Chains A and B, each alone.
Chain A
Amino acid sequence: MMSNPTPESLHPGLNLGEEHGEDHLEAETSVFGFWVFVMSDLVTFGMFFAIFAASSAPMWMAGGPGPKDFVDIGSIAWQTGFLLASSLTSGMAVLSLKERHAGEGASRGRLIFWLLLTAVLGFGFLYREIADFVSMAQMGAGPTRSGYLTAFWSLVGLHGAHVTAGLLWCLTIVVGVLVRGVDKRWKLALLRWAVFWHFLDVIWIGLFTFVFLGGLI
């Protein structure tokens, strides 16, 4: 019917409902569409990155604190650890779909377990990030202090807001799977959410390298 057949090979082992070409096409379209959206989101991050890069010289700090004054590398390491680990667990969640009849019994439990673990790690990340923000604000490094700090808070905060959205999404999927079972709809949601979550990981690596490490050097 459509020009992109080969449904079998698209999501090997993901058991998207019955063996139906149409479902595979839908999965394909839906995940591809989400990828495209993520590309667009990537540009948004790119813009905030660019503004940050353009505001990193001392002259944009307006005499206020610079990265050396407030970046707590220990906390950043924790955040990185949480996020990388959560990426792993989100991968495990997707993998748990691979088993046949993931809708029932043990494997549904496994899916929910991995999702909840991911959420816990994500909350851990957010907790440390917010704690860092609070201590920055207390030491006079709030976003209104200088152009540099504005760019810093916005870039890191944009990522944090994405993580928050991702967590909300994750919990929604947990509830959805509990209420409705692992049907096609929630499998698709899971696939897209996993793309999103990995994407946030990649962004974080960028932040870690350029904003935090780069700031300290």
Chain B
Amino acid sequence: MLASLFGRLNWDSIILVKEFEDPDLQLLITSGAAAAIPLGGIFLVLLLWYLKWWKPLLGWLTSVDHKKIGVMYIIFSVVMLFRGVVEAVLMRTNQAVALNGGFLSSDHFNQLFTTHGTNMIFFVAMPFLIGLINVAVPLQIGARDVAFPKLNSISLGLTGAGGFLITISLLIGQFSTGGWTNYPSYTGKLVNPGPGVDYWITAIGLSGIGSTLTGVNFAVTIYKMRTKGMKFMRMPLFTWTALATSILLIFAMPPLTAACVMLGLDRYLDFHFFTNDQGGNLMNFINLFWMFGHPEVYILILPAFGVMSELSSTFAAKRLYGYTSIVAATMCIAVLAFFVWLHHFFTMGQSTTVNAAFGIATLLISIPTGVKIFDWLATLWGGRIRLNTTPVIYLCGFLVLFVLGGFSGIILANPTLDYQVHNSLFLVAHFHNVIIPGTLFGILAGIHYWFPKMFGFRLMESYGKVTAWLWSIGFVITFMPLYPLGLMGMTRRTVDYTDPAYVPLMLVSGAGSLLLGLAFLFLIITFWRSIVNRKQLVTPIGDPWDGRTLEWWTPCPVPEYNFAVLPEVDSRDAFHTAKERGDAYAPIEKYEDIKIPSNTYFGLIIGILGCGLGFGLVWYMWWMAAGSFLAALATIIVYAFLPEREQVIPAEEVRRVDENWRREARETYGVTRDDEITEANKGLARPDVVPG
């Protein structure tokens, strides 16, 4: 009876119980720090309940407003980033002292790099970017919301369910040890029968479906919801990259979902997709995984490129150089991304002709990438660059460090050299070198940039700059030593090593990772201090950076309906043009009622049922898995019958809010860029008197 109720879950699966019965300092260190997340989560829920804040909380969780959904994605990612950084620092400090044995056991270390990698890619980088896209894209194209607001909330729910599963694995059972790539047959049932791999499959599978739906949603949004005059070649660059990323999500997530399902079938029903015996073939998994995996790296980097494009032109106060080139390069990259996946396993024994062809295809990608770098430099050229701002520090860090990451990528693209550095720390250095200065800097800069749009006030520049410098310097100290270590032969995913030659560089790297931990701390401090000082940092008029694109043409924080009257666009930097003309805040004659969709529990319910489905599968609690699945199906059907609820905001109300805002903008004096980072910046930009 109990067995069928609890499946293979028993008391000993619960880490705290195990810890109580058999105290183990190691387990406490490794799981303890990270277990703060689930425990903190439970505590938070209780606290909110106690404070009677659950109503506003529910209001958020059931919201279909793209901005709120975006913010929820971002908060989720910050929490997961905490875990990722803690794990990373643990690994690095362990390796720093791991000559002939560090303080972590092999099993713990193996779980750490697996959760770190999985978590960072699927539950930090992706939701961060999807969050930014949610916040910015509808505003940039002058839309009221995304094409399918309810679907958007479902995507969030599924991502949350994935995050729940990887997080709960800290408390109940354990996660996979197979790396973020989770190759069989190591992850097959014979070699790894425990729940870890099943956590990986369910977490990735659920969030993967969510990401596919996000891709569909934003592709359609950008395709169909652009405001009048917003031709393709007038779209802001971030929107372009969001479109490219959406297309990549649509076509690249299915291979991953398929791989998850197949691995699951092998494990649950004794199928033979990837088994050693009976005509299974593990190479098929590796192919499927990287057919997803390579486009994935462009899913991660392209929106960051988009942010950098916006920043370079905004903070150099100049038009973007080579708009057409950059758009062409972005699309080139998106297409080429599907034809290089094999470079992740040059060493699998295929013919040299195949290897060489994929090697050259990989080299080709570096052409449009290089062009983009030059374009950003040319954008800065002839500008008036505001060096004292946080985004510019990220931008410069990105430009220098990303180039170096691309450099090592070119080395790896040579199959001959990959035979040597594959699976080594050289590779680890390479992908962190593109992911941290690229994706992460793009994300952090993007958050800093659009923060006023989300919350109505700026982040403090003083802390922001320290944070940006810490990430940059910490990155260099942590990861540059890994290049020589990799060339010296040190492999990745090794808990300990035996060669004293590695020690000095490992110590440097370990020290660097402490700086990165500090950088994360400063990120939180930046948020905290800014929230405390938010009264001085408000930017109600909505244009704190002298922006050029439509999102800045709204008050901060942005009303639910985004634009009182959808703007018409007649040029690329439409808002900038309007400001130059001097009629950006001119009064508007006619307002209309605005219909916006009401909140819905749909996404929240699907998310919770997703948790149930995943958890039931992991622990063989079949009633729970089947029940959740059927309930999800029923929910979908029931919602098909429930009336579509809308909220109408009367024209008068819209007029009142909008006229106030416009009047205030006309009557306020505004600041020049010299006072941009002072309290005087209320979000109204005053043009410089440029000499000459």
Direct contact between A and B judged by beta carbons closer than 8 A: yes
Q: Is the CB of A143 within 8 A of B224?
A: no
Most buried by A among B228, B253, B288, B640: B640
Q: Which chain B residues have a beta carbon within 8 Å of chain A's beta carbons?
A: 147-148, 212-213, 215-217, 219-220, 223-231, 250-251, 253-255, 257-259, 262, 265, 269-273, 275, 277-281, 284, 288, 291, 566, 633, 637, 640-641, 644
- From residue B561, how far is it (CB to closest CB) to chain A in Å? 14
Measured between beta carbons, the chain B residues less than 8 angstroms from A60 are 279, 281
Nearest opposing residue in chain B for A47, CB measure: B258
Measured between beta carbons, the chain B residues less than 8 angstroms from A44 are 254, 257-258
Measured between beta carbons, the chain B residues less than 8 angstroms from A59 are 279
Is A95 at the interface (CB under 8 A from chain B)? no
Measured between beta carbons, the chain A residues less than 8 angstroms from B291 are 47
Q: Is the CB of B279 within 8 A of A61?
A: yes
Q: Is the CB of B272 within 8 A of A146?
A: yes
Beta-carbon contacts under 8 Å, A54-77 to B: 54-55, 59-62, 64
Is A209 at the interface (CB under 8 A from chain B)? no
Q: In the complex, what distance in Å separates the CA atom of A33 from the CA atom of B219?
A: 8
Q: Contact partner of A143 among B213, B220, B259, B271, CB < 8 A?
A: B271
Can you report 24 residue pairs joining A to B where beta carbons are below 8 Å apart? A1-B228, A3-B227, A29-B147, A33-B148, A33-B216, A36-B250, A37-B213, A39-B250, A40-B215, A47-B291, A48-B258, A51-B288, A55-B284, A62-B272, A62-B279, A64-B279, A146-B278, A147-B272, A150-B265, A150-B273, A151-B273, A154-B273, A168-B633, A185-B644
Q: Is the CB of B216 within 8 A of A36?
A: yes
Q: How large is the interface on A (under 10, 10 to 19, 20 to 34, 35 or more residues)?
A: 35 or more
Is A14 at the interface (CB under 8 A from chain B)? no
Nearest first, the 6 A-B pairs at minimum CB distance are A147-B279, A60-B279, A47-B258, A43-B254, A44-B254, A62-B279
Main secondary structure of the interface of B (DSSP, over half): helix
Is A8 at the interface (CB under 8 A from chain B)? no
Nearest opposing residue in chain A for B228, CB measure: A3
Is A4 at the interface (CB under 8 A from chain B)? yes
- From residue B300, how far is it (CB to closest CB) to chain A in Å? 19
Measured between beta carbons, the chain B residues less than 8 angstroms from A149 are 272
Is A179 at the interface (CB under 8 A from chain B)? yes
Q: Contact partner of B254 among A29, A41, A144, CB < 8 A?
A: A41
Q: In the complex, what distance in Å separates the CA atom of A184 from the CA atom of B255?
A: 35
Measured between beta carbons, the chain B residues less than 8 angstroms from A85 are none
Nearest opposing residue in chain A for B258, CB measure: A47
Q: Which chain A residues have a beta carbon within 8 Å of chain B's beta carbons?
A: 1-4, 25, 28-30, 32-33, 36-37, 39-41, 43-44, 46-48, 51, 54-55, 59-62, 64, 143-151, 153-154, 168, 172, 176, 179-180, 185, 189
Q: Knowing A4-B224, A47-B255, say if A154 contacts B262 (CB, 8 Å).
A: yes
Q: Is the CB of A150 within 8 A of B271?
A: yes
Q: Is the CB of B272 within 8 A of A150?
A: yes
Nearest opposing residue in chain A for B212, CB measure: A40
Nearest opposing residue in chain B for A42, CB measure: B254
Measured between beta carbons, the chain B residues less than 8 angstroms from A185 are 644
Measured between beta carbons, the chain A residues less than 8 angstroms from B566 are 1
Q: In the complex, what distance in Å separates the CA atom of A30 from the CA atom of B271?
A: 37
Nearest opposing residue in chain A for B595, CB measure: A22
Most buried by B among A2, A146, A147, A168: A147
Q: Contact partner of B220 among A29, A41, A47, A147, CB < 8 A?
A: A29
Measured between beta carbons, the chain B residues less than 8 angstroms from A168 are 633, 637
5 more contacts with CB within 8 A, not counting A44-B254, A150-B272, are A2-B227, A29-B147, A33-B148, A146-B272, A147-B278
Q: In the complex, what distance in Å separates the CA atom of A51 from the CA atom of B265?
A: 14
Q: Is the CB of B278 within 8 A of A47?
A: no
Measured between beta carbons, the chain B residues less than 8 angstroms from A145 are 272, 278
Q: Is the CB of B641 within 8 A of A2?
A: no
Q: Contact partner of A40 among B147, B251, B272, CB < 8 A?
A: B251
Q: Is the CB of B637 within 8 A of A54?
A: no
Measured between beta carbons, the chain B residues less than 8 angstroms from A2 are 224-228
Q: In the complex, what distance in Å separates the CA atom of A192 from the CA atom of B265?
A: 30
Q: In the complex, what distance in Å separates the CA atom of A19 from the CA atom of B322?
A: 43
Measured between beta carbons, the chain B residues less than 8 angstroms from A64 are 279
Q: Is the CB of B255 within 8 A of A43?
A: yes
Q: In the complex, what distance in Å separates the CA atom of A136 from the CA atom of B34?
A: 49
- From residue B401, how far is it (CB to closest CB) to chain A in Å? 34
Q: Contact partner of B280 among A36, A46, A48, A150, CB < 8 A?
A: A150
Measured between beta carbons, the chain A residues less than 8 angstroms from B220 are 29, 32-33, 36
Q: In the complex, what distance in Å separates the CA atom of A52 from the CA atom of B637?
A: 33
